[in-house]
Amino acid sequence: MKKSIGAQTILYPHPVLIVATYKEDGTPNIAAVSWGGICCSRPPCVAISLRAATQSHGNILARQAFTVGIPSVDQWREADYSGIASGHDTDKFADTGLTAIASDLVDAPLVEEFPMSLECRVKEVHEIGLHTQFIGEILDLKADEEVLGKNGSPDLEKVRPFCYATGNRRYYAIGESLGAAFSNQRIADPRG
Amino acid sequence: MKKSIGAQTILYPHPVLIVATYKEDGTPNIAAVSWGGICCSRPPCVAISLRAATQSHGNILARQAFTVGIPSVDQWREADYSGIASGHDTDKFADTGLTAIASDLVDAPLVEEFPMSLECRVKEVHEIGLHTQFIGEILDLKADEEVLGKNGSPDLEKVRPFCYATGNRRYYAIGESLGAAFSNQRIADPRG
């Protein structure tokens, strides 16, 4: 018997995506977002949701661009801070000591210390409710050489990302590998 | 110097969401989806993206409902299989031995063996490109008593979910806790 918990926004794992934008005066800003993820393969797109009250929301509407940085476990405190403080009140790059570098493709900054970032141009804006969902077309993925795997893509074990748990409001590292995806073609019960 | 990798759909971590629906004849179906996540807090909504060619896509349009199950690490092979086989060709519940139970709120099944599931009614449908994004309003979260934490919500450490890594196409468990979210209010550099 399943227990009814109510209409909660819990699924596991939530990513910790650091959305980087420019303010009206050109100051770079970052904000942690867990309401988001890849939403289309062709064109390659990522979805992030933000409340209208946030600095990032206005920045994205004005510049029609943002980047999504994936912080490593070493940067969890900076990532957490970027989700607490408001860009309306403070310079979060100065506060955290992180470094903004200009994207050569979109009107938004990258965070130099993060191992990988997606550079996105706004494709669609959906007003869902409390949150606005921004669909960004991914124009490029920029990564540090050291986190690339043999196939040339960023490797999770080198990026060392982390996730957010809504239930107990804690961050968790990623653990051991369970096995290869797309490897269980023959699971079908022979009795079936 | 960041390296340009091209417009890849990689971010970490991707969830492994098992979307459960009914086919036209009432047979239950499941499919693994990693393009998705929570997208709004009020109303509580989850976004999942599916190609039009999939069985689940048609099922959701017809019934205007789906559930999102979170499998535990013990179920990674069944979850993987549900992302390989097509509901057009086979009965994936029969193949995997998983059990479909009827939702009392939406016209879609739950997977009994999964520790938690979100019951969703379609709120919006966005044609983004190769993928269609379904925004589901979460009407309830159903969970096993054993996975609830002290605060009554499903606890990540008890649910034991896993994630998908696009780069090397492997699944990973969730690892150790890094610390409490919203705990780094005072990171600001005192020199800043």
Rg value, chain B, Cα: 18
- Strands A65-70, A116-127: parallel, antiparallel or unpaired by DSSP? antiparallel
Looking at residue B86, its pLDDT comes to 92
Nearest to A11 by CA among B173, B45, B180: B45
Q: Which is more confident, B190 or A40?
A: A40
Q: Searching chain B, which residue's CA lies closest to the CA of residue A103? A: B2
Nearest to A102 by CA among A22, A159, A48: A22
- When CB atoms are compared, the residue of A5, A81, A138 closest to B7 is A138
Which residues in A lie closer than 8 A to residue B165 (C-beta atoms)? 155-156
The domains found in chain B, sorted by start residue, are: 14-173 (2.30.110.10)
What's the whole-number mean pLDDT along residues B169-175?
97
| DSSP result, chain B | -PEEEES----SPEE-EEEEEE-TTS-EEEEEE-SEEEEETTTTEEEEEEETTSHHHHHHHHHSEEEEEE--GGGHHHHHHHHHS-TTT--HHHHHT--EEE-SSSSSEEETTSSEEEEEEEEEEEE-SSEEEEEEEEEEEEE-GGGB-TTSSBPHHHH--EEEETTTTEEEEEEEEEEETT--TT-S-TT-
Summary mean pLDDT of chain B = 95
Banded model confidence at residue B192, pLDDT cuts 50, 70, 90: very low
Tell me what ipTM this predicted complex has.
0.95
Q: With an 8 Å Cβ cutoff, is B25 touching chain A?
A: no
Give me the residues of B, 71-90, that contact A with CB < 8 A. Answer: 73, 76-78, 80-81, 83-85, 90
Q: Searching chain B, which residue's CA lies closest to the CA of residue A79? A: B184
Looking at residue A122, its pLDDT comes to 98
**Taking CB atoms and an 8 Å limit, are B135 and A128 in contact across chains?**
yes
Residue stretches of chain A with pLDDT short of 50? 190-192
Over residues A65-108, the pLDDT tens digits come to: 999 999 999 999 999 999 999 999 999 999 999 999 999 999 99
pLDDT surpasses 50 at B48: yes
Which residues in B lie closer than 8 A to residue A184 (C-beta atoms)? 77-78, 80-81, 84
Q: Searching chain B, which residue's CA lies closest to the CA of residue A96? A: B188
Residue with tokens 């309003």: B137
Over residues B130-156, the pLDDT tens digits come to: 999 999 999 999 999 999 999 999 999
Q: With an 8 Å Cβ cutoff, is B99 touching chain A?
A: no
Count Cα neighbours of A30 within 13 Å in the Cβ-side half-sphere.
31
Percent of chain A with pLDDT strictly greater than 90: 95
Rounded CA separation B55/B22 (Å)? 9
Compute, in degrees rounded to 10, the torsion defined by CA atoms A88, A90, A96, A101: 60
In this structure, what DSSP letter does residue A154 have? B
Looking at residue B191, its pLDDT comes to 44
Stated pTM of the model: 0.96
Q: Are the CB atoms for B6 and A9 separated by under 8 Å?
A: no
Looking at residue B119, its pLDDT comes to 98
What's the whole-number mean pLDDT along residues B78-98?
95
Q: Searching chain A, which residue's CA lies closest to the CA of residue B186? A: A81
Which residues in A lie closer than 8 A to residue B41 (C-beta atoms)? 9, 35, 129-131
What's the whole-number mean pLDDT along residues B28-47?
98
